[in-house]
Structure 1
Amino acid sequence: MKQSELKEFLDEKAAFYNQPKFIESDPIQIPHQFTLKEDIEIAGFLTATIAWGNRKSIINNAQRMVQLLDNAPYDFIINHSDEDLTPLASFVHRTFNGEDFIYFVKALQNIYVNHKGLEAIFLQNAEKESLQKSISEFKKIFFSIPHFPRTQKHVSDPLKNSAAKRINMFLRWMVRNDQRGVDFGIWNSLNPSQLSCPLDVHSGNIARKLGLLKRKQNDAKALFELDTNLRKLDSKDPVKYDFALFGLGVSEKF
């Protein structure tokens, strides 16, 4: 397939899947319950953190997280007492447990109180065509207060060769704003051209079938290769093709 044909094919698929109906079966429905910027950020970040495994299970458990935060994530993060954290101890999603959840609440409080919020941290280390350094620096700040070492595995580090699929997905949600009603686009200080594709088994397999990716492992090197090729198709909004790769892989079994 010529590059012009590939672009036309993927543009068509991206437009088809990037529609409000996409929300109904996707974890992005959880932050879509909110209107306050900080509520959307926190619900989105927590949902993305547990976004691996069965999608129905992800949605159900992300909904439970929000309920445990009294359906007011930002207010809970800022104003919780130690007593308020006790019910969170029962939470579990695969290897993410109540201990991890409680730490995430404390770390987010530290970020909003002492670091001007999530958007400010990612902006601080943003590069022209990449937020991967931002993710790595974010992880350092996120774990800058006392924590159990095991909890660190729930935030990936691209500079240690991780594709960081979940946090790249979260960034897509926050930064992209194409007026289609799926992604939020509430972080105006960052640009869609800086985003990286959330690379997982499905998007990786489809990318290889289409000749967008040769590397076999789904790691940071593969992500750089995929990003480079997607930017050739659309330098301003390369991550819109995540909808195409996801749809082709999950919905069409391409």
Structure 2
Amino acid sequence: MTTTETKPGALEFTTGDGVRIAYRFEGADDKPVLLLANSIATSMDMWEGQAARLTEHFRLLRYDYRGHGGSDTPEGPYSLDRLGRDVVELLDALRIERVHFLGLSLGGIVAQWMAIYAPERIDRLVLSNTASHLGPTEQWEGLIAAVLQPDSMPEIAEMFMKNWFPASMRKLDHPIVESFRAMVLATRPQGIAGSWAAIRDMDMRRTASLIDRPTLVIAGEQDPVTLPEHGELLAQTIPGAELIVLPTAHLPNVELESAFLEAVTEFLRRL
């Protein structure tokens, strides 16, 4: 395992296919580990605003997808299987047997894969603003082609801001919105395109029924990306899953932080 420093507080390990993945630990060693997985086109810094409150109860493990943040950016499309195995290899490298897993958006897709194909590594599961399938294929082909065009990132970043935040936050030049815009602009186009290919090819509408971990599904009432009905379908498919719908767009951890953290913490700490 590689343990070189990437930026303050961050380490990295190398996957079986030679890709360096950045990760970071925070919190006391005696607390249960909570693995956080991000939205596409962001880094582990997506959780910066929530980290302090979460470390009151958990030891946080954050990481950057391949193609994002401090991780390497291999060429070509990525598969959901590869994104999931990156997590398995990370846990193996750190000798962690089981974690709570909170995934938002693409992070929720990776979390579903983990709960289906490596359920022994998951204790409790939180799937926020995510889906078991997002079509049609043509939509993703168009986005992949667009992001790989030269000088496309400012327009791509604006698209993400409109999808992620309500107009009230965008109009005020909110510092949180600008920090997320900066994260998108810092993400390599190939990393976004490769991850969109994984979303394009994934369909867990039937296999999600195999998830047997205690699961909380969180949906956003005004989410234009993963619609409330995507969350409802997940909650109906996963046996025993709970569903909470918050009055937010795509990033409830930012837009309605206290309610989001209360729901997550109560569920994960429930005996």
| TM-score scaled by length of structure 2 | 0.28
| TM-score scaled by length of structure 1 | 0.29
* Larger strand percent: 2
